Structure 1
Amino acid sequence: MNKYQPGHVDNELADDLIQKIEQKTAKVGVVGLGYVGLPLAVDKAVAGYQVLGFDVQEKRVAMVNSGINYIGDVVDTELRDMVSAGKLRATTDYDEIKNLDVVTVCVPTPLDKNKQPDLTFVRSSAQEVAKRLHKGMLIVLESTTYPGTTEEELKPIFEATGLKCGSDFFLAFSPERVDPGNKQYNVKNTPKVVGGVTPTCTKVAAALYSNVLQSDVFEVSSPRVAELEKLYENTFRNVNIALANELALMCDRMGINVWEVIDAASTKPYGFMPFYPGPGLGGHCIPIDPLYLSWKAKEYDYYTKMIETSAEINDGMPEYIVDRTYRILNRFKKSINGSRILLLGVAYKKDIDDIRESPALRVIALLEKEGANVVYNDPYIPVCSINGKEYRSEEVTEDLLESVDLIIITTDHSIYDYDSIVENAPFVFDTRNATRHIAQNRDKIEVL
């Protein structure tokens, strides 16, 4: 792995494109204006490029063109200013790709109903780009996927046009590293990894990101390395969170406070990194990406035992939360059937408006299945749908807190007044240790 160093390459088309990139005259497109694509499009515009965003959702396109932000990690004023200055525009018309020098693909890579990789959006985007592919164009895939996708799926689609990768056009993979809600690290200041199909492809792609971002750009030998390193990043988190969840299950049986154990272990200045338990995993990346790696490993007759076990532990946490709820209500001689339960927070992590794969949604569904009357509050999620049933966020008032049999904190939003919640609640089951600072009324709190 090497840190990117500017320089010319032995390819006239590549040199011309690198020159355009360095002079900020290259026209840049971003396919997919979601949690990854929109921040990237705005950052490229701020860096001085003429940026065109593509999305199949007309509502998103209209909002971008009106300067209206819908992604929490995008600065409202930056989006509005870039649109007003004519540096950023959005469209649903893929024909405009033919006028671009660079195309970055940032589309979803979900799992299908059998929990296998679904590259439908990646393939369809590649086909749309291929129809407008021209000499001297750079295409970069940022969507998280299994090793081999760029070379095995995208390269044949593009080379079917008759153009050759590495000489006529340039293709690379550079994994997104977006952490929604992170106030310290964002697209602009997070180091970037780039792996091209050929060394020339790598140089052209690295030149792009080095002129957009404020962070270092690292070159790896192939797209496969870049694809795998991203899966490893998220698998690392998945496995360690599973270990913390398993520790919580053991501590429950032993009568030991898991949070105190982790805090104590965190005093070691080396060889330990704290991860924390919770009601389960959420978001588009951590619960899904390890399964991409596990699926691909089977092609090589390898069974990823640690990944599979970690997924089993993390997937089982919502059921465990319901089991603990049973036990808590039982202590008050109440049945879960008929009890009114308030969940605080349905976003998958604190202080964001994203409910993708949120474990809170499964907790609600499981509680409802057992006959509980479930209501929720989340200041970031006014409405959500679970198994076809619509739920609306209830305002947190003293009347609401006093009217329920139990409160479960499933997302530890900073906006909550936990002192007031505990004071007015009959009992609180805290799955996030959000109430750790509260000294009074500890007898009304049970932590995971």
Structure 2
Amino acid sequence: MPADLAVIGLGHLGLPLAQAAVSSGIETLAYDPRLSADLAAGRLPADEGTLTAADLRRMLSGGFRPTTNPAELGRVRTAVLCSPAPLGAGGALDLGQIADAARALAARLRPHTTVILESPVYPGTTEEFLRPILEEGSGMRAGRDFHLAYSPGRLDPGNRTHGYAGTPKVIGGLTSACTESAAAFYGRLTDKVVRARGPREAETVQLLETNYRHVNIALVNEMAVLCHDLGVDLWDVIRCAETKPFGFQAFRPGPGVGGHGIPLDPNYLPHRSRTPGHPLRMVGLAQEINHRMPQYVIQRAATLLNEHGKSARGARVLLLGVTYKPDLGDQQGSPAREIATRLMEMGAAISYHDPYVPHWSVLDRPVPRADSLYEAAADADLTILLQPHRTYDLQGLAVKAQLLLDTRGATPVGAAHRL
């Protein structure tokens, strides 16, 4: 049965795209060798935080067809590649899964199909990496026989204000016809389409937006350390600063930076993409600062324990919220794992609580999960709030906990030690 759309790669980008497409009445084929069989059976991936079982059932009844058969990719008019591109050895992006998806599609690609890449990649990837795979595998030419474009993923998982339809989509095509074909597709899903000059510009939008977030988080993380040393309440500083109606956007510190948006350090760009002088040195510095935050949390935790006559060795430490974002089950890049690892190496006895994570292992050892949050906090020598899920009564937690370190500034003023 033909479908209007194929989504290839069903992770944090592909599933929300498929959901938006099905909701808009688009018959959607979904191809992912790892996940399609489970999705077809109504089973969600373990780390999928925004989609519920009820959402998946509605999708399946509304035109969502997961498949493990790549032959079906030859029946669609639009194919969107959403395969992950994780950091590989040496800090460079691993494009292997994108290459596998592209080869699976290329062997079945039909003339006039629109192919769009959404995965976070380096500038130049669409033209210099994806295009040759598609052309070699199909025997066709991009921009002449089929359309090729890039559109950066812009989802903010769990955001109740800015959903798929309300978030503008940036499109950069190989040719103007490629751009318009991709824009026509996304125009069915979103209220606004923004046309970039080409794929490189659209890819660099992703680069700028992701690096902007990491650089600004690094700034407030440095401010958190400075303000603690000076005895200044940074959270009050941010509260006052964000009243400025221009020239300032509030970011808040935390125990580290998680999520799927990886900052791209130019030191790891493919050689042809580099420019003399490494003009994005600030990105590398931001990474260093943000990567130090888990260790800073450990330092603050050890100091608090010492001030209360206890050593980290043998201390009972409860970690609250081990996901990368509140109210989601996704643990991608969460600093909780490194914090737990360092505490365990210091000899602390670790337990955790997270309503979205029923089982958690660190160093290949299962971490005990607290059944009763407030009893566990009362029993622990130190409770560290890493993620303020809405289900947490932070006022009640502050009363029950022997010692509480709030790394997110979420507890009432004076109720806990803040980062």
Q: Fold-level match, TM-score > 0.5?
A: yes
Give the counterpart letter for 1:300 in structure 2: T
TM-score, length-scaled by structure 2: 0.94
CA contact (8 A) 1:382 1:392 kept: no
Please, which of 280, 287, 303 is the counterpart of residue 256 of structure 2? 280
Give the counterpart letter for 1:446 in structure 2: H
Q: Deviations over 1:293-336 (max 9, x none)?
A: 86358732332211011100000000000011111011111111
Aligned to 1:295: 269
Distance 2:154 2:366 in 1: 32
The answer to whether 1:335 aligns with 2:306 is no
Q: 1:411 to 1:159 in 2, by over 3 A?
A: same
CA contact (8 A) 1:348 1:358 kept: yes
Matched position secondary structure for 1:412 = coil
Distance 1:314 1:123 in 2: 30
Q: Deviations over 1:121-162 (max 9, x none)?
A: 111111111111121111100001110000000111122232
Distance 1:168 1:156 in 2: 14
Aligned to 1:189: 166
CA contact (8 A) 1:379 1:393 kept: no
Aligned to 1:72: 49
Higher mean C-alpha displacement, 95-104 vs 190-199: 95-104
The answer to whether 1:61 aligns with 2:32 is no
CA contact (8 A) 1:55 1:91 kept: yes
Please, which of 40, 56, 59 is the counterpart of residue 82 of structure 1? 59
CA contact (8 A) 1:171 1:196 kept: yes
CA contact (8 A) 2:263 2:283 kept: no
Aligned to 2:217: 241
Q: 1:97 to 1:147 in 2, by over 3 A?
A: same
Distance 2:40 2:232 in 1: 54
Structure 1: any 5+ residue segments left out of the alignment?
A: 1-24
Give the counterpart letter for 1:61 in structure 2: S
Please, which of 211, 217, 230 is the counterpart of residue 193 of structure 2? 217
Higher mean C-alpha displacement, 247-256 vs 39-48: 39-48
The answer to whether 1:446 aligns with 2:413 is no
Please, which of 259, 264, 287 is the counterpart of residue 235 of structure 2? 259
Please state how far the C-alpha of 1:202 moved relative to its aligned partner.
0.6
Aligned to 1:148: 124
Aligned to 1:31: 8
CA contact (8 A) 2:29 2:67 kept: yes
Matched position secondary structure for 2:269 = helix
Give the counterpart letter for 1:307 in structure 2: V
Alignment of 1:2-401 (within 5 A): 27-57=4-34, 60-70=35-45, 71-74=48-51, 77-85=54-62, 87-160=63-136, 161-213=138-190, 215-285=191-261, 288-291=262-265, 295-296=269-270, 299-303=274-278, 304-401=280-377
The answer to whether 1:422 aligns with 2:393 is no
Please state how far the C-alpha of 1:186 moved relative to its aligned partner.
2.0
Q: 1:72 to 1:326 in 2, by over 3 A?
A: closer
Cα-Cα RMSD = 1.8
Give the counterpart letter for 1:301 in structure 2: P
Q: 1:126 to 1:427 in 2, by over 3 A?
A: same
Matched position secondary structure for 2:90 = coil
Q: Deviations over 1:246-288 (max 9, x none)?
A: 0001011101111111111112111111100010100111xx2
Work out the number of aligned pairs and report it.
Answer: 413
TM-score, length-scaled by structure 1: 0.88
CA contact (8 A) 2:143 2:174 kept: yes
CA contact (8 A) 1:294 1:308 kept: no
CA contact (8 A) 1:144 1:289 kept: no
Structure 2: any 5+ residue segments left out of the alignment?
A: none
